[in-house]
Amino acid sequence: MSDSAIGIFDSGLGGLTAVKELVKVLPNENIVYFGDTARVPYGNRSKKTIVKYAEQDASFLLSKGVKMIIAACGTVSSVATGLCDTLPVPFTGVVAPTANAAVRATKNGKIGVIGTSATVNSQSYKKAILSANKNIKVYQQDCPLFVSLVENSFISEEDPIVQLVVERYLEKLKSQNIDTLILGCTHFPIIAGAIHNYLGDNVTLIDSGKETALYAAEILRQKNLLNNDKAPGDCIYYVSDTVDDFKRTAQIFLGKNDIEDVYHITL
């Protein structure tokens, strides 16, 4: 299975930040991405609905013969925690790799977590952090408008709308003197510049997409599933809504304009 693709899914486009990081870490791996753009967002759904959607997303990727599945979605990783027990291939979400990276990064033992409402309400990051170090103080804030900003191309750190929303959401976290902040939704790295500007140089931002990509690469190495082909890997994208809208917005996440292999599917 070493030449099979890595499967990545998300409720929409945020998981593309994980794709971008995975291509950097493992440039010769093939990737199949599914964005459930017809049912985005997952963050305000019930647990039952999120679990059902996650199972359907994973099932689609399995139909493509993938060798590993990554839930590049903070909401799924936080709520559909039993998914890994049902899959015949290695699986990871974003919570554990990101929480562990934050624990390693903090100097003063104060970590902030931002994500969707479902992610924050699940307490998943807090539980993972305290499991690694019970003495760390964890401060959380849901930031649902961040997703809307990114998907509507409000991403410039100079944009006063972006600045206002960042300040409104992060004011309390800043007052807690955190030195590490988990970007607990894969949309959030797109506006990391504005977040950094507001919080300052003394706060380390932990990118869930990047940490998950590094963790996935290590799992593949351990299981001897790395692709030995030296040629650059291919990325194929599937979406459950319009292809054109995905291509347009995906350029922001991937940082490139030549996104070709995008196909519409119905679950």
Whole-angstrom Cα distance, residue 90 to residue 78? Answer: 18
Strand ranges of the sheet holding 235-239, from the earlier edge strand across to the other edge: 91-92, 68-71, 6-10, 31-35, 235-239, 262-264
Catalytic residue, candidates 84, 143, 185, 235:
185
User: Which of 247, 243, 237, 248 has its CA nearest to residue 153?
Assistant: 248
Residue 95 φ/ψ, nearest 5 degrees: -70, -55
Asked about 143 being catalytic, the answer comes back as no
Contact indicator for 2, 226 with CB cutoff of 8 Å: yes
If you search the block for the tokens 């679990």, which residue do you land on?
51
Asked about 235 being catalytic, the answer comes back as no
Catalytic residue, candidates 73, 84, 143, 235:
73
Contact indicator for 75, 11 with CB cutoff of 8 Å: yes
Write the DSSP assignment of 5-18 as a string of letters.
PEEEEESSSTTHHH
Whole-angstrom Cα distance, residue 145 to residue 163? Answer: 12
Distance in Å from the first CA to the final CA of the chain: 25
Whole-angstrom Cα distance, residue 24 to residue 104? Answer: 22
3-state secondary structure of 230: coil
Residues 6+ apart with CB under 8 A from 261: 234, 235, 236, 237
Q: Which residues are catalytic?
A: 73, 185
